[in-house]
Amino acid sequence: MDTGDLGLPVPVPSTALFTDQYEFTMLQAALRGGTADRRSVFEVFTRRLPEGRRYGVVAGTGRVLDAIENFRFEEKVLRFLRSHGVVDGPTLDWLADYRFRGDVYGYPEGEVYFPGSPIMRVEGTFAECVLLETVILSILNHDSAVAAAASRMAVAAGGRPLVEMGARRTHELAAVAASRAAYLGGFASTSDLAAGFRYGIPTVGTSAHAFTLLHDTERDAFTAQVKSLGSGTTLLVDTYDVAEAVRTAVEVAGPGLGAVRIDSGDLLLVAHRVRQQLDDLGATDTRIVVTSDLDEYAIASLAAAPVDSYGVGTRLVTGSGHPTSSMVYKLVARADGDGPDAPMRSVAKKSTGGKTSIGGAKWAARPRDAAGVAEAERIGTGPVPEELAGVTLQVPLVRGGETVGREPLDAARDRHRRALAGLPMSATQLSRGEPVLPTEYV
C-alpha cells in the first residue's frame, strides 16, 4: 500500500501475517464446509482489569485501522503460505483477493473502559473477520496497557510534564507504539525519534553519562554541550559529585541554565538539595528533571519535591507491571445461513474458570449524575433504551471496508483527559481497588 494512503511518513509493511496459524486453518475449513460467508459479529473485551486497577484506557485504535487497511496478501506472502503448506490452493486463491469489506465499531481512542466493555465490534463474513483476531488483539492489548500506565503516571505527576524514554527497554517497533500510547495517556514528549517522525510527537534529548565520561573534566563536557546547544540545555549532574556538578553547570551556562537532570540516588533528598543550591547560585528558573526507573508510585512520592518534570522508561513501556490488557476477541453472533437475510443468532462460549462470555452484539452506555460524573457502565443487546440513547459509547470506525473513524492523535489525547475527568474522584487513587464503575448488564 502507498504510504500516503495511511497518512504516514514511512512505509508500513503488509500486516497479513500478523496472525496465528489457526486463523488460516479455520478459514480453510470454513471455505470447504460452506460456512465462510456467514455474517458474523466478533467483539473485543476484557473480563477483568489488571489487579488493583480502577479503569482501563483504549489505545491503539488508530493503529488497528491502519493494520486493517494494510491487511493484504502480496505474492511473496502467498508463496510463503504455499511453500509451507499452511493452506490449500482454493484458500490461497481466496486470500489473494482479500479485502476487509465489513464494519467496525468501537470505543473511540482515549476513552476509558471496564470489565465487559465491548471495546471493539467487528462485523462481516466469518472468513474476513476471523483473520483479524491476532493483529487487532496484539495492538490493543499492548497499546492499552501502556496507555493505562501512562495515565496513572500523568495523574501522579499532577500536571508536571512527563518524558517517555523507554525505547532502549523494549523491541524497537514496540517502542514506537509505546511512545504513541504514552502520549495519548498524558505524556508530553518522547526521546524516540521514530515516534516523532511517524506520529508527530514532540521529541527531546540532550546527553548521557557517556558524554561526560568522554571528556577530561566535567567542566569540559558541560562547556561543549552549552556551546553546541545553548544555555537552555539540560545538563546531567550525577556522573560524579552532584553538588560540584551543579556549581560547575551554573558557572558554565550562567543563571539562565535551562535544566539539570538527576538520574540516581535518593531523588527526594537530592532534588531538595539541588533546588536550594540552584537558588543560592541565582539560577532560580533552572528546572530539575529526574529519571531513574520511575513508576507512578515513585512519581507520587516526589509530589512534594521541587521536581519540574520526569523521564520514565522501563516501567512505562512494560505497562508498569501489567504488560497486557488481557483483551479477547470472541464470536458473539452469527447468521443461521449464508444469505444476507438469514437471521442472526447469539452465540457464546460456556466454560468454567471464569472464561465464559455473553452472546449477542452489544451496545454500551455510560449515564452520568447531575454533576456530570459517570455512574455505571451499562451494557446490553438489542435496542438501546431511550434514556441511554444520548450516552452510548461506540462510534463507527469502518463502514463497508472504508475507514471512517481515523482522527489525529491529539484528539484521542484530549478525549482521554475528558474521560478521566468524568469519572468518580476515586478513579485517580493509586491505591489498589475495584473498578471505579460497576458493569451492569441490562
Q: What is the pLDDT of residue 425?
A: 95
CATH number, position 436: 3.20.140.10
Same domain, yes or no, for 311 and 331? no
User: Does 227 score more than 60 pLDDT?
Assistant: yes
Query: Which residue matches cell numbers 462460549?
Result: 349
Which DSSP string do the residues of 315-364 spell out, in sequence order? Answer: HHHTGGG-----EEEEEEEEESSSSTTPPEEE-----STT-----S-EEE
Same domain, yes or no, for 169 and 304? yes
| 290 touches 269 (CB < 8 A) | no
In a domain, 353, yes or no: yes
Domain boundary among 317, 338, 356: 317
Same domain, yes or no, for 187 and 76? no
In a domain, 426, yes or no: yes
Same domain, yes or no, for 387 and 347? yes
Order of strands across the sheet that contains 362-365? 362-365, 377-381, 439-441
Same domain, yes or no, for 309 and 330? no
In which domain, by residue range, is 264 found? Answer: 157-317
Kindly report, residue by residue over 325-356, the tens digit of the pLDDT.
999 999 999 999 888 889 999 999 887 667 77
Phi, psi of 439 (to 5 degrees): -95, 120
| Beta bridge pairs of residue 402 | 399
Q: Strand, helix or coil at 167?
A: helix
Domain boundary among 317, 342, 366: 317
Same domain, yes or no, for 205 and 101? no
Total number of domains in the chain: 2
Query: Which residue matches cell numbers 525519534?
Result: 193
Cell output for 236: 546531567
User: Does 238 score more than 80 pLDDT?
Assistant: yes
In a domain, 151, yes or no: no
User: Does 9 score more than 60 pLDDT?
Assistant: no
| 14 touches 70 (CB < 8 A) | yes
Same domain, yes or no, for 214 and 84? no
User: Does 2 score more than 50 pLDDT?
Assistant: no
Query: C-alpha distances in angstroms, 54 versus 8, 120, 140, 404, 432?
Result: 34, 20, 18, 31, 8
The helix/strand count (H/E) of the chain reads as 16, 18
CATH number, position 197: 3.20.20.70
Cβ neighbour number for residue 160 with a 10 Å cutoff: 17
Mean pLDDT of 180-195: 98
Please provide the size of the chain in residues. Answer: 442
| 62 touches 407 (CB < 8 A) | yes
Same domain, yes or no, for 254 and 383? no
Domain boundary among 252, 284, 317: 317
Mean pLDDT of 392-411: 98
Query: Which residue matches cell numbers 467496525?
Result: 104
Amino acid at 252: V
Cα distance between residue 53 and residue 37, in whole Å: 40
Same domain, yes or no, for 427 and 358? yes
360 φ/ψ sector (left φ>0, alpha ψ -120 to 50, else beta): left
Query: Which residue matches cell numbers 508527530?
Result: 200
Q: What is the pLDDT of residue 245?
A: 98
Q: Please tell me what DSSP assigns to residue 374.
A: B
Cα distance between residue 177 and residue 63, in whole Å: 9
254 φ/ψ sector (left φ>0, alpha ψ -120 to 50, else beta): left
Mean pLDDT of 155-184: 97
Mean pLDDT of 390-394: 97
Same domain, yes or no, for 121 and 162? no
Kindly report, residue by residue over 45-64, the tens digit of the pLDDT.
999 999 989 999 999 999 99
pLDDT band at 432, cuts 50/70/90? confident
Kindly report, residue by residue over 273-326, the tens digit of the pLDDT.
999 999 999 999 999 999 999 999 999 999 999 999 999 999 999 999 999 999
In a domain, 302, yes or no: yes
In a domain, 147, yes or no: no
Give the predicted TM-score (pTM) of the model.
0.94
In a domain, 205, yes or no: yes
User: Does 14 score more than 90 pLDDT?
Assistant: no
Positive or negative, the CA dihedral 404, 410, 414, 419 is positive
Same domain, yes or no, for 293 and 372? no
In a domain, 96, yes or no: yes
User: Does 13 score more than 70 pLDDT?
Assistant: no
In a domain, 119, yes or no: yes
